[in-house]
């Protein structure tokens, strides 16, 4: 890794110690400069054009390409602060960033979820996946969960809860319903002793990595002949709240969204009013068609 990338990564970690951005940006930068195969000072605007085309030919998603562009632009802005004679920034936002339309969250049908859960017999894995599915945790939040964040014996009138360090270092509280609470209690009773304070330990007795949790889910998906991601479990939790007519602001707090408009997209995948109005409209159309057919038959 270039020393400049290492310094940049350390700088990002000082700014946001709980965020995954330093790791992702460092990987993006290593990928770009390996592809460029020239000193960072020689990167040009046209190199960025070519890199975008290369990334698209490789089938990378728009969000991934835009994140890599953001990493590069931030890196050169960092160099502009750190160096007396910095290189010019080759990333031009209006030219390089790719527009993308609004994408709806991809949830999982309930029968598919049940099929998957039937295969997850291990207490640790079951607890991890249920925290995503029933409490809306991100995979990184499951990974970061420590024993000191778990409150299973609250005061009377309060629900068991988890204290989360969420995206961007933002803290929030989520509550435990009966199913994830029971799964978590079963796991904690058999959790092996460890010097690591993590709730979920891998086979080496250390805190899971995000990739490790994703690999565990992928293993069950292969057994079930399906493909489900950790984030889809979280999306399904959002859909369930919407179907239960939970106020949007409450869903926002439970999911840890900074902006209400992020939460509003769940209305599009489970809009009970739109469904009811559509069903009523189709009944009316069918009634009119039937009347027309009856009138034609009478003549």
Residue 174: beta bridge partners?
162
Q: Is 271 exposed, middle or buried (0-12, 13-18, 19+ CB in 10 A)?
A: middle
278 is catalytic: no
68 is catalytic: no
Neighbours of 172 (CB within 10 A): 17
Sign of the CA dihedral running 133, 135, 138, 140: negative
239 is catalytic: no
Please, are residues 275 and 183 in contact by the beta-carbon 8 Å criterion? no
Category of 136 on φ-ψ map: left (φ > 0), alpha (ψ -120 to 50) or beta = left
Closest to 140 measured CA to CA, from 113, 170, 115, 111: 170
> Low-confidence residues of the chain, pLDDT below 50?
none
pLDDT reported for residue 156 = 86
Which is catalytic among the residues 138, 207, 235, 240?
138
pLDDT digit string, tens, across residues 7-49:
999 999 988 877 788 989 999 999 999 999 999 999 999 999 9
Angle at which helix 21-36 crosses helix 3-15, to 10 degrees, equals: 160
DSSP 223: H
In angstroms, the CA 163 to CA 171 distance is 7
SS3 105: coil
The two three-digit tokens of residue 132, written as one number: 């995503």
Angle at which helix 210-224 crosses helix 110-119, to 10 degrees, equals: 100
CATH of 110-269, one of 1.10.260.40, 2.130.10.30, 1.10.443.10, 3.60.40.10: 1.10.443.10
Which is catalytic among the residues 167, 207, 216, 235?
167
| HSE-up of residue 266 (Cα within 13 Å, Cβ side) | 27
151 is catalytic: no
Q: What is the pTM of this model?
A: 0.72
Neighbours of 22 (CB within 10 A): 18
95 is catalytic: no
In angstroms, the CA 230 to CA 215 distance is 10
The two three-digit tokens of residue 215, written as one number: 């690999």
Q: What are phi and psi of 26, to 5 degrees?
A: -60, -40
Q: How many helices (H) and strands (E) does the chain have?
A: 15, 3
Which is catalytic among the residues 73, 234, 235, 240?
234
46 is catalytic: no
Please report, for the chain, the start and end positions of each structural domain, with discontinuous segments joined by +: 3-96, 110-269
In angstroms, the CA 5 to CA 138 distance is 27
pLDDT reported for residue 49 = 95
Which is catalytic among the residues 25, 76, 220, 266?
266
The two three-digit tokens of residue 287, written as one number: 């009634």
Domain covering 3-96 in this structure, CATH number: 1.10.150.130
Which is catalytic among the residues 60, 161, 231, 239?
231
């Amino acid at each position: 890794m270039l020393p400049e990338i290492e310094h940049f990564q350390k700088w990002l970690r000082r700014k946001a110690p709980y965020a995954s951005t330093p790791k992702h940006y460092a990987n993006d930068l290593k990928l770009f400069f390996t592809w460029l195969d020239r000193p960072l000072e020689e990167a040009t605007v046209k190199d960025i054009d070519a890199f975008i085309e290369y990334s698209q030919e490789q089938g990378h998603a728009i969000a991934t390409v835009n994140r890599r562009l953001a990493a590069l632009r931030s890196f050169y802005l960092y160099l502009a602060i750190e160096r007396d004679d910095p290189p010019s920034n080759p990333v031009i936002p209006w030219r390089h960033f790719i527009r993308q339309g609004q994408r709806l969250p991809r949830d999982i049908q309930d029968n598919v979820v049940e099929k998957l859960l039937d295969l997850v017999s291990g207490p640790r894995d079951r607890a991890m996946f249920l925290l995503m599915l029933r409490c809306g945790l991100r995979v990184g939040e499951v990974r970061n969960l420590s024993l000191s964040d778990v409150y299973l014996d609250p005061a009377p009138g309060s629900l068991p809860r988890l204290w989360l360090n969420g995206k961007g270092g933002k803290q929030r509280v989520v509550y435990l319903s009966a199913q994830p609470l029971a799964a978590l209690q079963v796991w904690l009773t058999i959790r092996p002793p460890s010097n690591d304070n993590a709730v979920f330990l891998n086979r080496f007795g250390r805190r899971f990595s995000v990739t490790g949790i994703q690999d565990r889910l992928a293993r069950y998906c292969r057994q079930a002949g399906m493909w489900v991601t950790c984030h889809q479990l979280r999306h399904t939790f959002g859909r369930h709240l919407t179907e239960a007519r939970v106020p949007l602001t409450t869903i926002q707090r439970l999911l840890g969204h900074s902006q209400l408009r992020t939460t509003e997209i769940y209305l599009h995948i489970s809009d009970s009013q739109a469904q009811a109005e559509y069903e009523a409209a189709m009944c009316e159309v069918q009634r009119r068609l039937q009347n027309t057919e009856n009138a034609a038959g009478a003549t």
